[in-house]
């Protein structure tokens, strides 16, 4: 059963700092677990960009599916990702062997998906965990494996590393695990 305190709808708006952009996201409880939905708008390579996403997770925060639709300039984007109970992944109906066994989707354009391993792992302060995510890369929308690690530095503070330490960011999160600040890339402007 979903904990009553955690079952509230949570909503946030983030501002992007490395390129002009914003994202609105909300987390909704469901009978089967959780839904994360949002929309990101940005300027990418001089072109307007809008991406809507919908992620379904089970009660343990394991990804079941993700859908991303939108556009970058005149290019239309449509990616549907499915993860079955055996850990097999598909994108738009095609198997992706490289990400077999991954538990989390990672949307390269959004801080929302950091919530998944943060909630699922529930690390003690000082603990570190390595995870392998199915990374939906922006702007190619290819599904690739991404080695990551999370170190819980404090009650609401994490160190995130990916690509064998080539990318490192400090994350501050709220009591649900949603990002407040993501290094110098994202900051929260509003929450409810």
The pTM of this model reads 0.93
HSE-CB for 14 with a 13 A CA cutoff: 28
Residue-level pLDDT at 5: 43
Long-range contacts of 22-27 (CB under 8 A, 24+ apart): 22/189, 23/110, 23/111, 23/112, 23/186, 25/110, 25/112, 25/178, 27/115, 27/176, 27/178
Model confidence over 4-58: pLDDT tens digits?
445 678 999 999 999 999 999 999 999 999 999 999 999 999 999 999 999 999 9
HSE-CB for 55 with a 13 A CA cutoff: 25
Domain residue limits, the chain: 10-191
- Please state, in angstroms and rounded to a whole number, the distance separating the CA atoms of residues 137 and 81: 12
Per-residue pLDDT of the chain (192 residues; tens, 9 = 90+): 345 445 678 999 999 999 999 999 999 999 999 999 999 999 999 999 999 999 999 999 999 999 999 999 999 999 999 999 999 999 999 999 999 999 999 999 999 999 999 999 999 999 999 999 999 999 999 999 999 999 999 999 999 999 888 999 999 999 999 999 999 999 999 999
């Amino acid at each position: 059963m979903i904990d009553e305190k955690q079952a509230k709808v949570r909503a946030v708006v983030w501002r992007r700092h490395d390129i002009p952009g914003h994202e609105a996201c909300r987390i909704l409880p469901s009978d089967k677990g959780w839904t994360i939905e949002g929309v990101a708008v940005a300027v990418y390579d001089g072109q307007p960009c809008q991406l809507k996403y919908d992620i379904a997770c089970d009660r343990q925060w394991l990804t079941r599916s993700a859908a991303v639709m939108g556009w970058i300039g005149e290019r239309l984007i449509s990616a549907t990702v499915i993860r079955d109970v055996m850990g097999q992944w598909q994108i738009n109906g095609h198997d992706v062997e490289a990400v077999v066994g991954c538990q989390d989707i990672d949307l390269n354009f959004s801080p929302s998906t950091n919530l998944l391993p943060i909630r699922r792992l529930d690390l003690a302060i000082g603990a570190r965990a390595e995870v392998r995510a199915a990374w939906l890369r922006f702007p190619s929308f290819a599904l690739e494996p991404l080695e990551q690690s999370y170190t819980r530095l404090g009650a609401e503070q994490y160190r995130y590393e990916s690509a064998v330490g080539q990318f490192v960011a400090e994350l501050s999160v709220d009591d649900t695990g949603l990002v407040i600040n993501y290094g110098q890339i994202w900051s929260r402007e509003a929450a409810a």
